[in-house]
Amino acid sequence: MNIVFILVDIMLVVAIGITFVRLVLGPTMVNRVVALDLMAILLVGMMAVEAVRSGEHALLDVAVIIGITAFIGTAAFAVLIDREPNDE
Protein backbone atom coordinates (compact mmCIF):
# COMPACT_ATOMS: atom_id res chain seq x y z
CA MET A 1 0.00 0.00 0.00
CA ASN A 2 2.84 2.40 0.87
CA ILE A 3 4.61 2.05 -2.48
CA VAL A 4 1.30 2.80 -4.21
CA PHE A 5 1.00 6.12 -2.39
CA ILE A 6 4.58 7.04 -3.25
CA LEU A 7 3.99 6.15 -6.91
CA VAL A 8 0.71 8.10 -7.11
CA ASP A 9 2.27 11.13 -5.42
CA ILE A 10 5.23 11.07 -7.82
CA MET A 11 2.87 10.94 -10.81
CA LEU A 12 0.76 13.83 -9.52
CA VAL A 13 3.75 16.02 -8.64
CA VAL A 14 5.29 15.40 -12.09
CA ALA A 15 1.91 16.33 -13.61
CA ILE A 16 1.80 19.60 -11.65
CA GLY A 17 5.39 20.36 -12.74
CA ILE A 18 4.55 19.78 -16.41
CA THR A 19 1.46 21.99 -16.10
CA PHE A 20 3.63 24.68 -14.52
CA VAL A 21 5.87 24.62 -17.59
CA ARG A 22 2.80 25.36 -19.73
CA LEU A 23 1.81 28.12 -17.29
CA VAL A 24 5.21 29.78 -17.80
CA LEU A 25 5.46 29.15 -21.57
CA GLY A 26 1.80 29.71 -22.53
CA PRO A 27 1.84 32.12 -25.47
CA THR A 28 -1.42 33.86 -24.57
CA MET A 29 -3.43 34.54 -21.44
CA VAL A 30 -6.05 31.91 -22.34
CA ASN A 31 -3.41 29.17 -22.28
CA ARG A 32 -2.37 30.28 -18.79
CA VAL A 33 -5.98 30.19 -17.59
CA VAL A 34 -6.30 26.62 -18.87
CA ALA A 35 -3.06 25.62 -17.13
CA LEU A 36 -4.22 27.15 -13.83
CA ASP A 37 -7.54 25.34 -14.08
CA LEU A 38 -5.76 22.02 -14.63
CA MET A 39 -3.44 22.75 -11.68
CA ALA A 40 -6.46 23.26 -9.39
CA ILE A 41 -7.97 19.95 -10.54
CA LEU A 42 -4.62 18.20 -9.95
CA LEU A 43 -4.60 19.71 -6.45
CA VAL A 44 -8.06 18.26 -5.79
CA GLY A 45 -6.75 14.85 -6.85
CA MET A 46 -3.75 15.17 -4.52
CA MET A 47 -6.05 16.03 -1.62
CA ALA A 48 -8.21 12.97 -2.35
CA VAL A 49 -5.07 10.79 -2.23
CA GLU A 50 -3.99 12.44 1.03
CA ALA A 51 -7.46 11.80 2.49
CA VAL A 52 -7.07 8.09 1.70
CA ARG A 53 -3.55 7.95 3.16
CA SER A 54 -4.22 9.78 6.42
CA GLY A 55 -7.83 8.66 6.92
CA GLU A 56 -8.78 12.30 7.50
CA HIS A 57 -11.95 12.46 5.42
CA ALA A 58 -12.60 16.14 6.17
CA LEU A 59 -9.95 16.83 3.49
CA LEU A 60 -12.54 15.83 0.89
CA ASP A 61 -14.69 18.84 1.85
CA VAL A 62 -11.68 21.09 1.32
CA ALA A 63 -11.11 19.46 -2.07
CA VAL A 64 -14.70 20.16 -3.15
CA ILE A 65 -14.36 23.81 -2.10
CA ILE A 66 -11.13 24.14 -4.09
CA GLY A 67 -12.92 22.69 -7.12
CA ILE A 68 -15.79 25.18 -6.80
CA THR A 69 -13.35 28.10 -6.44
CA ALA A 70 -11.37 26.95 -9.49
CA PHE A 71 -14.53 26.76 -11.60
CA ILE A 72 -15.65 30.24 -10.53
CA GLY A 73 -12.16 31.57 -11.30
CA THR A 74 -12.14 30.00 -14.76
CA ALA A 75 -15.62 31.35 -15.54
CA ALA A 76 -14.61 34.82 -14.34
CA PHE A 77 -11.46 34.79 -16.49
CA ALA A 78 -13.49 33.65 -19.51
CA VAL A 79 -15.99 36.49 -19.06
CA LEU A 80 -13.12 38.96 -18.57
CA ILE A 81 -11.38 37.85 -21.78
CA ASP A 82 -14.73 37.85 -23.59
CA ARG A 83 -15.48 41.45 -22.65
CA GLU A 84 -12.09 42.81 -23.78
CA PRO A 85 -12.30 44.88 -26.96
CA ASN A 86 -11.15 43.01 -30.03
CA ASP A 87 -8.44 45.23 -31.52
CA GLU A 88 -6.76 43.40 -34.37
Partner 1 sequence: MMNDVLIVFCLLSGAFFMLVAAIGILKLPDLYQRLHASSKAATLGVALLLLGAALHSGDMGVISRCFIAIVFFMLTAPVGAHLITRAAYKHQEPLAKETLSDEWAEDRKDLKL
Q: Measured between alpha carbons, how far is 55 from 35 in angstroms, rounded to an integer?
A: 30
Residue 28 CB, nearest distance to partner 1 (Å)? 6
- Per 3-state DSSP, what percentage of the chain is helix, strand, and coil (rounded to 5)? 85, 0, 15
Q: Measured between alpha carbons, how far is 13 from 36 in angstroms, rounded to an integer?
A: 15
Residues forming contacts to partner 1 in the complex (CB under 8 A) are: 1, 4-5, 7-8, 11-12, 14-16, 18-19, 21-22, 28, 30-31, 33-35, 37-38, 41-42, 44-45, 48-49, 51-52, 57, 60-61, 63-64, 67-68, 71, 74-75, 77-79, 81-82, 84, 86, 88
